[in-house]
Structure 1
């Protein structure tokens, strides 16, 4: 029976709808109050992410999953400047097994913060109401944890190394990713690609998954198109159009990037971005897609190299 169980290809580390949902439900809970940088809620989320990384056996840099930094929060025009708050990126990695390629890193990232009780960047006037950020970006954070779990279960297959980063303070101006590239935990020259997941929870009926930056590495556009189609997705792939999320910080350092999302919606940056609107089967499909792409990059000698886009 045991042999049959494993030979079926099923693994307890498979990406599942239930686990994606569990992560998003926690991240969007009332007690986390919209995941604003700094404070008790921020610490609670960082602890949750650290615990998950440790559970999956991810390695830490300098014996610490936290990369601490200070973030100055955005304020409305004319308002008194807010003080700096303490927050963190949460970083773990899995080392590759190839003697040479293990010194090349692929980064998979997603920001875990949101708008808290609203704020100057919100499109809603309900500034004392929790902005749950289920799609933006609890969905990407959940995918990060699920992909890390599955890759950890298959780490013997890796040639290149993978760094997983849950970024803090993205909504405050990409502060977590900017801090990382200015204070990298590995030489920037060794980072060959950064894949960023920001809003994966609203796959539409046409199965559109959008991405920018696919032309910043060799054959990225046809590879992502063909892989998506083979999984029943309809990829909308741009060679450039790098976009406005955390991968921009890496592109500014001449690092190849891929920013992936499932599209905008009326609930973006409002209190109505809630867990009940997440398309969980769709998110699983997109998460599997990203996992498969990542495994191609890290288990083969796929040619990497930065290509600047206009």
Structure 2
């Protein structure tokens, strides 16, 4: 075979640049993975993942299994688990004290600071633990596809992305699937009172709760924009194929509140309420999987831009 000339090599390189799809480190989110996670967690067999139930424990095992698969380091108090007790307060039940777990995995990049990414995996069971918005539906399975199988699917896809992107980031990443959120943010509050990494080492916290029912008229709410003076710089260059609205407040009805109350900057991604919120009709086929993928790509842009900042400051917003 004759030796190829430098010009031939140039032509080959040009061909690859022009005609071979370029695969960057940019978010390779897999919609099929998202569907798989949501259809598993929100299946009738999971009976609504009520706190303390066999099905909630099964959901925790599902998260733990994927953390292991992605090579995340256990960062609970016993392996991946951080166990605690939660109490049913809205209604009177015989088993008011429930055992629950946070499931915690870590990507250790030998960095001084850590970004926390979280979502709660519990829901309302059959509505008898309180919280159902359908009085006639109490006793029926509340599958919680949007609330919050969608957030857990996002958590697992972000864990997969950052464990498999062949990049050693400038920050560590701590992934937490919170238990007992529906009983009053119990899991996230327990973590912030018994942290498995120093709270002062947390760069900021991202929370996903109900990110599956995107409404293009409203967009996705990004709550907590005012909790650090660095967020305007982080968002300055970010664009998306979905609409997103920035809100300053750090408080809200989900797990980022526990971190905000510990002087940690937060962002809470949320696609808003809908007619199936806390009702038996919150099912997997109603999720907008294309928009969910776009939301996760937006989050990756935010996370990556935040890694270009120094340790983020904290601001109270109210």
The answer to whether the superposition gives a TM-score over 0.5 is: yes
Distance 2:41 2:315 in 1: 36
Aligned residues, how many?
Answer: 300
The answer to whether residue 302 in structure 2 is matched with residue 308 in structure 1 is: no
Show the counterpart of 1:123: 133
- The answer to whether the 8 Å contact 1:207/1:232 transfers is no
SS at match of 1:69: strand
- The answer to whether the 8 Å contact 2:227/2:250 transfers is no
Distance 2:245 2:216 in 1: 14
Distance 2:274 2:229 in 1: 32
Show the counterpart of 1:110: 119
CA, structure 1 residues 68+282, in 2 after alignment: closer, same or farther (shift >3 Å)?
same
Match for residue 53 of structure 1 among 67, 78, 84: 67
Task: Find runs of 4+ consecutive structure 1 residues off by over 4 angstroms.
Answer: 3-7
CA, structure 1 residues 260+241, in 2 after alignment: closer, same or farther (shift >3 Å)?
same
* Deviation of the 1:222 alpha carbon: 5.8
TM-score w.r.t. structure 1 length? 0.90
Distance 1:6 1:304 in 2: 39
Unaligned runs of 5+ in 1: none
Distance 2:55 2:235 in 1: 37
Show the counterpart of 1:237: 246
Match for residue 87 of structure 2 among 72, 81, 97: 72
CA, structure 1 residues 308+209, in 2 after alignment: closer, same or farther (shift >3 Å)?
same
* Deviation of the 1:296 alpha carbon: 2.1
* Deviation of the 1:167 alpha carbon: 0.3
CA, structure 1 residues 15+148, in 2 after alignment: closer, same or farther (shift >3 Å)?
same
The answer to whether residue 284 in structure 2 is matched with residue 275 in structure 1 is: yes
* Deviation of the 1:6 alpha carbon: 9.8
- The answer to whether the 8 Å contact 1:114/1:133 transfers is yes
Show the counterpart of 2:109: 96
Show the counterpart of 1:192: 203
* Deviation of the 1:294 alpha carbon: 1.2
- The answer to whether the 8 Å contact 1:123/1:269 transfers is yes
TM-score w.r.t. structure 2 length? 0.88
Match for residue 230 of structure 2 among 219, 242, 261: 219
After superposition, where does 1:5-24 map in structure 2 within 5 Å? 8-9=22-23, 14-24=28-38
Give RMSD over aligned pairs: 2.4
Unaligned runs of 5+ in 2: 1-16
